[in-house]
Amino acid sequence: MIKRYLMTPGPTPVPEDIMLLMAKPIVHHRTKEFKSVFKDTRELVKSVFQTKNDIAIFASSGTGAMEASVSNVLAENDTALSVAAGKFGERWGQIIRAFGANPVELSYEYGDFAKVEDIQKAIENNPKIKAVFMQASETSTGVFHPIDEIGLMLKEKFPEIVFVVDGITAIGAIDVKTDLWNIDIMITGSQKALMLPPGLSITSVSEKAKNMIAKTKNRYYYFDILKELASDGGSYTPAVTLIYGLNMALKKLLDEGLENVFKRHTLLAEATRAAVSSLGLELLAKKPANSLTAIKTPVDSTKVIEYMKSFGVDVSNGQGSLKGKIVRIAHLGYFDKSDILMAVSTLEMALKSSGVEFNFGAGIKKVMEIFLNEQ
């Protein structure tokens, strides 16, 4: 027998009470009962997103909402800035091109983060830029971009530009203030810090973004944001079961208190990063996110990950050129201190079994000390 522990940055574990709720019989989506849950869920999303903006929920993975934001905001031949510092940032450029628009791509090395002055300069050099697309947390490298500074700069200098942020591994884990930071479209997916199975994308849409969408000659059918916003229970058949699960998941986060949720994620991230440094290893991220930790490995990380898997601990490899070079340990969503104890101890065993020379036990000792001080 092997007991599995899912520690990848999505999908993430789902709490038992949410799974049990989702095992209940299906309710029809055009009933009063469902419409009331749907309405309540949209309100709960607003609290977790820290926004007053309207909420669109699609049955899709997170990429569906990325595509919706591009296809609704941009018309063919429009120009937009896309910030790429990893696999998911690069996806913005690909989607923009797929819809016949022109991305001005601001690229950074993997591990680096976006700089507000670079974004300002890129827009000054390309006055046709209509929207800025970027990540909050770039999951392929574990970086957190300064979306607060960027949003405030855009508000001051380029108030007509629509700011679109992929918060797929940030919402529910990191304190991102959608309205305060001038984020017109904020996106997340169900299978990350919202502690649900994959299948929902959730998007907040500002009045400014809605006006831009209404004025744009865009191309889409299913991903019609304005139609979705105008519906009272989803424009097509919504993912009923997941909406019930989302309702419960959001209530769980709000019951814990967003501040406590962010503190828990900070503690787990800080303990993981402290372990990495005690082991003499390096982080990939120059500005790490609190939702996952990307660790450079001195040996092929594929072997390290396989070893950890033999203990039932599932962590992620690097993507693209980072494959074999890093291990990504997630701590977003339904995660607590014991998860980190397990991840760090199995990581140390994996390194030891691969012949890496290091102070064996230093990482787990550090984590234990940090958690002891927290009690």
Ligand X SMILES: Cc1ncc(COP(=O)(O)O)c(C=O)c1O
**Residues forming the site for ligand X (CB under 6 A):** 10, 61-63, 88, 135, 139, 166, 168-169, 189
Phi, psi of 78 (to 5 degrees): -70, 160
Which structure tokens are listed for 195?
């502690």
Cα end-to-end span (Å), the chain: 33
The residue to which tokens 């036990």 are assigned: 361
- Least distance from ligand X to the Cβ atom of residue 371, Å: 27
Residue 189 CB, nearest approach to ligand X (Å): 4
Angle, alpha carbons 45-49-53 (nearest 5°):
80
Query: Of 169 and 317, which CB lies nearer to ligand X in the complex structure?
Result: 169
By beta-carbon proximity to ligand X, the closer residue of 241 and 278 is 241
- Closest contact distance (angstroms) between CB of 87 and ligand X is 8
Residue closer to ligand X by CB (options 111, 189) is 189
Least CB distance to ligand X at residue 116 (A):
20
Q: 85: exposed, middle or buried (C-beta count within 10 Å: 0-12, 13-18, 19+)?
A: buried
Query: Contact 358/258 with Cβ under 8 angstroms?
Result: no
DSSP state of 220: -
In whole angstroms, the minimum distance from the beta carbon of 264 to ligand X comes to 20
**Cα Rg of the chain, angstroms:** 21
Residue 61 or residue 120: which is nearer to ligand X going by CB? 61
Closer residue to ligand X, CB minimum distance, 62 or 363: 62
Question: How many whole angstroms separate alpha carbon 92 and alpha carbon 176?
Answer: 20
CB of 299 to ligand X, least distance (A): 25
Smallest separation (angstroms) from ligand X to the CB of 326: 15
CB of 357 to ligand X, least distance (A): 33
Q: How far is the CB of 227 from ligand X (least distance, A)?
A: 21
Residue 203 CB, nearest distance to ligand X (Å)? 13
Please identify, using beta-carbon distances, which residue of 169 and 247 lies nearer to ligand X. 169
- Distance set, CA 137 to CA 85, 169, 172, 287, 347 (Å): 10, 6, 12, 10, 23
Identify the DSSP state of 322.
G
Nearer to ligand X, 61 or 354 (CB): 61
Strand partners, 103: 80
Instruction: Report which of 143, 325, 174 is spatially closest to residue 262, judged by C-alpha positions.
Output: 174
Considering the complex, state which of residue 139 and residue 203 has its C-beta at the smaller distance from ligand X.
Answer: 139
Distance of CA 251 to the CA centre of its chain: 19
- DSSP at 318: -
H helix intervals, the chain: 16-22, 32-49, 62-73, 87-98, 116-125, 147-157, 207-215, 225-230, 240-256, 258-278, 301-310, 337-353, 362-374
Q: How wide is the angle at C-alpha 259 spanned by C-alphas 39 and 11, nearest 5°?
A: 65
**Cβ–Cβ under 8 Å, residues 195 and 42:** no
Is residue 295 within a helix (H) or strand (E), and if so which, with residue range? strand 292-296
In the complex with ligand X, the residue whose CB is nearer, 131 or 350, is: 131
Q: With respect to ligand X, which residue has the nearer C-beta, 45 or 351?
A: 45
